[in-house]
């Protein structure tokens, strides 16, 4: 599996291209991501959103059209793709697939697992492909997503962290901002964050 990453826009939001078995998956194409994505894919099969915040979904519609591939977005955040009250200039996009909580997909043998961790926003999810977890704005290296935005919920985040603590395996975590970490590494801090929410 090959993973390419490029921070996009003023918030340096990580856009990932995951290549496995000759298939390219585009995760969180943010502001001005289109040209970088086009230059780095050979067989794109899907756009995957970890959640619906503008800095992660800005180039959704442009890439859907240019690459003619489907968009998968957690169903709880689908509304955020076209109704962003705090980012009115967001180019609207419509998911081809509204992903249900903890739903898994099989792309001709490549399994893609969405794991629902709401709190930062209603649909907030991680995406697991192979030995990698793309955590969006749920978990970062020694940090978690903010819960003071519209549609955020500190209680949902607490519940999500409890769920995260119970994962009984380890993978490399590729967050929406910043560098990589691991599931086991961040599980150590879950109780701290739960106690401070």
| Average pLDDT score over residue span 95-123 | 98
Nearest to 94, CA basis, from 136, 65, 55: 65
Render pLDDT for 21-52 as a digit per residue (tens, 0 to 9).
Answer: 999 999 999 999 999 999 999 999 999 999 99
Render pLDDT for 72-108 as a digit per residue (tens, 0 to 9).
Answer: 999 999 999 987 666 678 999 999 999 999 999 999 9
pLDDT of residue 49: 98
- Whether the pLDDT of residue 154 is over 80: the answer is yes
Kindly report the average pLDDT of the chain as a whole number.
96
Q: Are 169 and 179 in contact (CB under 8 A)?
A: no
| Average pLDDT score over residue span 54-68 | 97
pLDDT of residue 83: 72
Render pLDDT for 7-18 as a digit per residue (tens, 0 to 9).
Answer: 999 999 999 999
Task: Report the alpha-carbon distance of residue 158 to residue 160 in Å, rounded.
Answer: 5
* Domains contained in the chain, CATH given: 2-196 (3.60.15.10)
- Whether the pLDDT of residue 152 is over 70: the answer is yes
């Amino acid at each position: 599996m090959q993973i390419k990453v490029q921070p996009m826009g003023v918030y340096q939001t990580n856009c990932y291209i995951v290549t496995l078995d000759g298939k390219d998956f585009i995760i969180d194409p943010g502001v001005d991501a289109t040209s970088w994505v086009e230059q780095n894919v050979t067989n794109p099969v899907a756009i995957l959103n970890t959640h619906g915040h503008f800095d992660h979904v800005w180039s959704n519609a442009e890439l859907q059209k240019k690459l003619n591939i489907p968009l998968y977005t957690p169903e709880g955040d689908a509304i955020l793709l076209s109704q962003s009250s705090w980012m009115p200039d967001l180019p609207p996009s419509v998911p081809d697939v509204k992903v249900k909580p903890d739903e898994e997909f099989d792309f001709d043998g490549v399994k893609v697992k969405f794991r629902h961790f709401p709190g930062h926003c209603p649909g907030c999810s991680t995406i697991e492909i192979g030995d990698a977890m793309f955590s969006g704005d749920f978990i970062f290296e020694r940090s978690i997503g903010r819960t003071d935005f519209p549609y955020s919920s500190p209680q949902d985040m607490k519940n999500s962290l409890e769920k995260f603590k119970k994962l009984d395996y380890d993978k490399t975590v590729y967050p929406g901002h910043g560098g990589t970490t691991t599931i086991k590494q961040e599980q150590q801090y879950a109780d701290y964050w739960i106690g401070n929410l």
